[in-house]
């Protein structure tokens, strides 16, 4: 299944999932690398989380497809104006962190930004998909609320929206966007709500 916001632009283009072949092995050296990076740059350790649109409380937006609805592995943030009214709107980092990937996956994913967060001594990853433009560079630090990208429509595949995932397992494969198996994935809105500031 492709990423399906409630307002889908077309019924024609349905892919089996949002994924493209991409192998990333998660290993302990990876974990250590980020622990060291944050230890040396403690001002970028996360102290809490905000929403990625309408900062800091998602004002002007709604979650059109909540976590696990249709087996969705993220949240779909849409502007309350509907359609493409939110195209080009700013997307903000949900917390302090380190930009681990800025990449155009094309297909059902489009342009994706991934950010690693160290929060209460655990590593998390936030993933922002279908972006129009991306305004951060890979391997740089960001602050909570800093603009990282603009809301896109995945090159016309969907009406514009932000697909947001939060993972408690970092550097996994890009994934399918949809699955009954949620290991490694958190309910983004529940997590943000429970960990403000
Ligand atoms: Zn989605």
Per-residue pLDDT reduced to its tens digit, 136-180: 999 999 999 999 999 999 999 999 999 999 999 999 999 999 999
Cα 26 to its chain centre, rounded Å, is: 18
Read off the pLDDT of residues 13-45 as tens digits, 9 standing for 90 and up.
334 466 544 444 456 777 899 999 999 999 999
CA of 158 relative to ligand 1 center, distance in Å:
10
Distance CA 188, CA 43 (A): 24
What lies within 8 Å, CB to CB, of 26 at 6+ separation is 169, 170, 171, 172
CA of 50 relative to ligand 1 center, distance in Å:
19
CA of 74 relative to ligand 1 center, distance in Å:
6
Read off the pLDDT of residues 61-75 as tens digits, 9 standing for 90 and up.
999 999 999 999 999
CA of 39 relative to ligand 1 center, distance in Å:
33
Give the pLDDT confidence score for residue 31 in this predicted structure: 82
Distance CA 78, CA 58 (A): 10
Pick the CATH number of 43-194 from 2.70.70.10, 3.30.1120.10, 3.40.50.300, 2.60.120.560: 2.70.70.10
- Segments making up each domain of the chain, as ranges: 43-194
Look up residue 95 and give its DSSP letter.
S
pTM for the whole thing?
A: 0.88
CA of 118 relative to ligand 1 center, distance in Å:
24
CA of 157 relative to ligand 1 center, distance in Å:
12
CA of 111 relative to ligand 1 center, distance in Å:
13
Share of the chain above pLDDT 70, in %: 86
Beta strands in 31-110 (DSSP E): 61-65, 75-79, 90-92, 97-104
Taking ligand 1, which is a single-atom ion, which protein residues have CB atoms under 5 Å away? 3, 76, 163
């Amino acid at each position: 299944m492709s990423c399906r916001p409630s307002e889908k632009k077309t019924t024609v283009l349905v892919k089996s999932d949002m994924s493209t072949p991409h192998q990333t092995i998660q290993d302990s050296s990876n974990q250590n690398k980020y622990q060291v990076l944050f230890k040396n740059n403690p001002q970028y350790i996360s102290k809490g989380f905000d929403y990625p649109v309408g900062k800091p409380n998602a004002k002007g937006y709604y979650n059109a497809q909540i976590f696990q609805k249709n087996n969705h592995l993220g949240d779909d943030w849409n502007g309350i104006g509907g359609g493409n009214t939110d195209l080009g709107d700013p997307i903000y980092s949900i917390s302090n962190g380190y930009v681990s990937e800025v990449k155009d996956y094309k297909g059902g994913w489009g342009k994706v930004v991934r950010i690693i967060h160290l929060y209460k001594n655990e590593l998390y990853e936030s993933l922002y998909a279908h972006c129009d433009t991306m305004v951060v560079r890979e391997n740089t630090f960001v602050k909570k609320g800093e603009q990282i990208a603009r809301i896109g429509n995945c090159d016309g595949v969907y009406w514009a929206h932000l697909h947001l995932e939060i993972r408690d397992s970092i550097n996994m494969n890009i994934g399918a966007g949809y699955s009954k198996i949620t290991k490694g994935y958190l309910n983004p809105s529940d997590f943000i709500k429970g960990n403000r500031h």
